[in-house]
Amino acid sequence: MAINDIHTPVLLERCIELLTPGLAAPGAVLVDATLGMAGHAEAFLQRFPGLVLVGLDRDPDALAIARERLAPFHDRVHLVHTVYDGIQDALHSLGIEEVQGVLFDLGVSSLQIDRVERGFSYSKDAPLDMRMDSTSELTAEVILATYSEQDLRRIFQDYGEEKLSARYAKAIVAAREEAPFVRSAQLVDVITTATPVVVQRMGHPAKRVFQALRIEVNQELSVLERAIPAALDAVGVGGRIVVMAYQSLEDRIVKRALAAASGSTAPVGLPIELPEHKPVFRLLIRGAELASEAEKADNPRATPVRLRAAERLRRAG
């Protein structure tokens, strides 16, 4: 099966529309900070014959697929194995001082979801892995074996926004005394047993716990908090950044970072806004943009997406 048949990039045309003003000049640089299987990257390279692409991904499997898919553009492509908060180091290693576009497509990639053995899905039994980078050490199995009840409760509450976090943490600690958690089905069984029947009718009880474990394994939120400011710093005047988030915790971080960059720094009550206090970026979208009903129907993975974008107006200082 061709990769294009299993991977449909989310909001592709909208991303191209938003980033185009900064990418028209020959030699413009676009950073795809979450390269994945390179669906967005391939489209940009096709649309912009003079574009240079820097693709970042923490997943070696994704990079291997992207390298093959982008082979026709190899002279314009630089792929880097790194987490996206390493954007500045990646650019410096390539001798690139600033870029004209940055794209983030956050969350779990199609590759990670569709490969059962990666353990991201609560609907299929698999090893409790959940690593986006298979070379890292922390797995969901390690977390379930070593974290205290208090720490489990914290990550379920903070990263899964799970109301039954205390109940689930207690049940997991009790269950691991009998047998270690090795497979996702074991965890699903414990969570389901600990969930009141009325709550089970509201959706799969393991969904938020699996989300929380995935975020903790990959340190997704702390990485994102560093990555967005680093990406903004890399964007040159007239360049743009587009970020697609799929859950509220990520979107909140993106919203705060873009709001800070696009706001005036003038002290309250100052009668005149001095040039150095003027916003460095301007928001290109009011609030967050959602996928159309047509796109959701065609590509269900677009259903929860929240897109935000901004353009650099000037250099700070």
If phi over 0 gives left and psi between -120 and 50 gives alpha, with beta otherwise, what is residue 286? beta
Q: Tell me: do 66 and 161 sit in the same domain.
A: no
Contact yes or no for 226/85 (Cβ under 8 A): yes
What are the strands of the beta sheet with 29-32, ordered from one edge? 77-81, 52-57, 29-32, 99-105, 235-245, 306-312, 281-283
Q: Are residues 76 and 156 in the same domain?
A: no
Alpha helices in the chain (DSSP H): 3-6, 12-23, 39-47, 60-69, 87-93, 110-114, 140-146, 149-160, 165-176, 184-193, 197-200, 207-218, 220-234, 248-261, 293-298
Please state the domain count of the chain.
2
What is the CATH classification number for the domain harbouring 166?
1.10.150.170
Residues 231 and 100 in one domain: yes
Residue 124 inside a domain? The answer is no
Strand partners, 308: 243
Out of 218, 252, 287, pick the residue that ends a domain: 218
Do residues 15 and 103 share a domain? Answer: yes
Looking at the structure, tell me whether residues 77 and 197 fall in a common domain.
no
Which pLDDT score is estimated for 2?
Answer: 46
Q: Is 112 annotated as a binding residue?
A: yes
Last residue of a domain, one of 175, 193, 218: 218
Asked whether residue 121 is assigned to any structural domain, the reply reads no
Three-state secondary structure call for residue 241: strand
Q: Per the annotation, does 100 bind a ligand?
A: no
Cα-to-chain-centroid distance, residue 154: 21
- Residue 14's domain comprises 3-111+220-312
Indicate the angle between helix axes 207-218 and 220-234, nearest 10 degrees: 60
In a domain, 118, yes or no: no
Residue 116, in any domain of the structure: no
Same domain, 107 and 224: yes
57 is in an annotated binding site: yes
Residue 289 lies in a domain: yes
Q: Are residues 190 and 237 in the same domain?
A: no
Q: pTM of whole model > 0.95?
A: no
Do 51 and 73 lie in a common domain? yes
Cα–Cα distances in angstroms (integers) from residue 237 to residues 185, 256, 261, 286, in the given order: 50, 21, 13, 21
Looking at the structure, do residues 242 and 99 belong to the same domain, yes or no?
Answer: yes
Residue 251, annotated as binding a ligand: no
Q: Where among 218, 249, 270 does a domain terminate? A: 218
Q: Which pLDDT score, from 0 to 100, does residue 107 have?
A: 79
Domain-embedded: residue 117: no
Is residue 119 situated within a structural domain?
A: no
Give residues with Cβ within 8 angstroms of 42, minimum separation 6. Answer: 69, 70, 73
Asked if the structure places residue 214 within a domain, the reply is yes
pLDDT at 316: 75
Q: Which of 279, 283, 285 is nearest to 314 (CA)?
A: 279
Say whether 147 counts as a known binding-site residue: no
Residues 229 and 100 in one domain: yes
Task: Say yes or no: 243 and 301 in one domain.
Answer: yes
One domain for residues 17 and 98: yes
Whole-angstrom distance, CA of residue 222 vs CA of residue 250: 10
Known binding residue 105? Answer is yes
Phi, psi of 101 (to 5 degrees): -160, 145
The answer to whether the annotation marks 55 as part of a ligand binding site is no
3-state secondary structure of 53: strand
Q: What is the domain-level CATH number for residue 237?
A: 3.40.50.150
pLDDT per residue rounded down to tens, the chain (317 residues): 344 445 689 999 999 999 999 998 889 999 999 999 999 999 999 999 999 999 999 999 999 999 999 999 999 999 999 999 999 999 999 999 999 999 999 977 666 566 666 777 888 899 999 999 888 899 999 999 999 999 999 999 999 999 999 999 999 999 999 999 999 999 999 999 999 998 988 889 999 999 999 999 999 999 999 999 999 999 999 999 999 999 999 999 999 999 999 986 556 656 666 566 688 999 999 999 999 999 999 999 899 999 999 999 998 76
